[in-house]
A and B are shown apart, each in its own frame.
Chain A
């Protein structure tokens, strides 16, 4: 059984601050991990993914994430947030079984204050 946990339900930061969103997964097998962003009232947008190779992956809009097999983690980071980064962030895992459907974490709401 694949599970994804996001320990922080809500994070508040000031514009220009750095932010790290935590994601831990549990799965035995070949998987890939990804992060998506959902702005209020919109669909999800892909940010970045990891399958193999360099454990630090770069995504859109200055986001990066680091994979750790030993910690079963895939944390998302941004060095300097902008007000437009206010959204819900979802970590997801997918395998080559199950039609490659995404299994999502519960999401972290990021609120960026001016």
Chain B
């Protein structure tokens, strides 16, 4: 099956803990993204990454960092979670170049207590 896979589906943690979310795509794409979707369904780009360039949304706090081992994987690490980090984190991928649609994973819902 070719798709974008995310683990875990849900994660509950306490303030100050470190968390890491995994994303893998089997579509052969060369660009991957992380988006944050808040409780009002608002979607905001956090990172986009291909093997040449990482682009970080300037509004993303420094406790967030993407981690990539190859072009099929882009994980998201949060060093010390805060209550406002509670959200759904969506991973996506696409080909680079032209008007390319993005393919999304099912999301990881993070709850920070």
A interface vs B, CB < 8 Å?
32, 34, 36, 38, 41-46, 49, 51, 88, 90, 94, 98-104, 106-107
Q: Is the CB of A101 within 8 A of B45?
A: yes
A109: min CB distance to chain B, Å: 8
A103, B45: Cβ atoms closer than 8 Å: yes
Within 8 A of A (CB), among B57-107: 57, 90, 92, 94, 96, 98-107
Q: Which residues of B contact A45 (CB under 8 A)?
A: 104
State the CA gap A51–B100 with chains docked (Å). 10
Contact B43–A104 (Cβ < 8 Å): yes
Q: Give A50 to B98 CA distance when docked, in angstroms.
A: 11
A43 touches B41 (CB 8 A): no
- Neighbouring A residues of B44 by C-beta, 8 Å: 104
Whether A44 pairs with B90 at a CB distance below 8 angstroms is yes
Q: Which residues of A contact B35 (CB under 8 A)?
A: 102
Give me 18 A-to-B residue pairs in the complex whose CB atoms sit less than 8 angstroms apart, sorted by A's number.
A43-B104, A44-B43, A44-B90, A46-B101, A46-B102, A49-B101, A51-B99, A94-B99, A99-B33, A99-B50, A100-B96, A101-B33, A102-B43, A103-B45, A104-B43, A106-B40, A106-B42, A107-B42
B110 within 8 A of A: no
Chain A residues, Cβ within 8 Å of B98: 51
B27 within 8 A of A: no
